Copies of this chain bind each other. A is one copy, B any other.
Amino acid sequence: MLYFSCDYAEGCHSRVLKALSDSNMISTPGYGEDDFCRAAKTKIKEYINCPNADIYFLVGGTQTNQVVIDSMLSNYDGVVAAATGHVAVHEAGAIEYSGHKVITLPAHQGKLDADELKQMLVDHYADDSSEHMVNPGMVYISYPTEYGTLYSRTELEAVSSVCAQYNIPLFIDGARLAYGLAAQDDLSMADIASYADVFYIGGTKVGALFGEAVVFTKGNTPKHMITQIKQHGALLAKGRLLGVQFAEMFTDDLYMEMGSHAIEQANKIRECLKTKGYTLFMENPTNQIFVVMDNESLKEFGQKVVYGFWEKYDESHTVVRIATSWATSDDSVEALMAIL
């Protein structure tokens, strides 16, 4: 069986596994107060060229979104997101659970439009009833988006600039950050750090066993951050596991190497799909491919390939997600292309 349904189907990259094994019996303090975490933070700060960044390691995407958003917002604030944003749709209401509204704007291939964002803010503050409404206290975007699309540098700049103008922090969800950066030549992680007030570097979907690195870029860490993380049930006792993994991933460019690998594999498949006349549901340059398949063929396809069901396209067609990752082997790509 070929496995292309998602980018979290395996454990971790062999180098990450080796680092965990090598450090396994070393005794360290708990809760991230260890040398591995310190080393990882230093490496990341250098990599993003942001010496004053403040970094926290958490365990998963939804947890990270909840902790970051809730710790940065006040009671009266909500977070603005595209209607298709992960926080708006697929986190079981984790943001509302923490008391905050997700204020949605139309999604354009998964992306917020900076002009629409600005217009919403203009309208909000001009509204006589604005004190009876949730205050837009943060802007959330995902890079890549849930549809695998990417903001261009110009688009990012525009969103970031609207946020700066209204003094609203911009939060970039980088669950698949490596896959985005590997697919976009003119943008670096340092650029992401400069556009965002806070962002996270996704590990779970990019070669770590688990783990996300939250980066506060502007001396804007919420107070008592450790207490807040603990309060959300998100403080890992053996925090060093996160430090070990991120330290390894930010050694010899492993993180980006894993990103590039997935993009190369995705591009081969994308090319093959186009050659064979398949319809892509949405064009994007990253590791997730959304392809329209007729239901008859899909039955057979499903016998050989584990794919991701995305949505019904019409009565006789389905949108299917084919995802590559750091773990996708040449063999499995060849095998998949033979089946397509």
Contacts and interface: CB of A to CB of B under 8 A. Distances in A.
A135 interface: yes
A261 to B, nearest CB: 14
B135 A227 contact: yes
B133 A309 contact: no
A92 B10 contact: no
Given A94-B230, A99-B97, A30 B6 contact: yes
Interface string A18-29: 001101111111
Among A17, A27, A100, A101, the most chain B Cβ lie within 10 Å of the Cβ of A27
B237 A60 contact: yes
Contacts of A93: 76, 78, 99-101, 133-134, 231
A223 interface: yes
A336 to B, nearest CB: 13
Contacts of A74: 223-224
Interface in A129-162: 129, 131-135
A238 interface: yes
Contact of A234 (B5, B71, B100, B233): B233
A10 B21 CA distance: 11
The oligomer's copy count stands at 4
A205 B237 CA distance: 9
A181 interface: no
Interface in A228-242: 228, 230-238, 241
A132 B216 CA distance: 21
Q: Is the interface of A mostly helix, strand, loop or mixed?
A: loop
B233 A67 contact: yes
Contacts of A96: 78, 96, 99-101, 134
Contacts of A9: 27-30
B236 A75 contact: no
Given A66-B233, A232-B233, A76 B11 contact: no
Interface in A185-205: 204-205
Interface in A16-60: 17, 20-21, 23-30, 59-60
A294 interface: no
A3 interface: yes
A75 B231 contact: yes
A228 B25 contact: no
Interface string A172-192: 000000000000000000000
B61 A132 contact: no
B60 A131 contact: no
Interface of A: 3, 5-6, 8-12, 14, 17, 20-21, 23-30, 59-67, 70-71, 74-76, 78, 89-94, 96-97, 99-102, 128-129, 131-135, 204-205, 209-210, 223-224, 226-228, 230-238, 241, 306, 309, 327
11 contacts: A10-B26, A75-B97, A76-B93, A89-B133, A90-B133, A92-B131, A97-B99, A97-B231, A132-B235, A210-B236, A233-B234
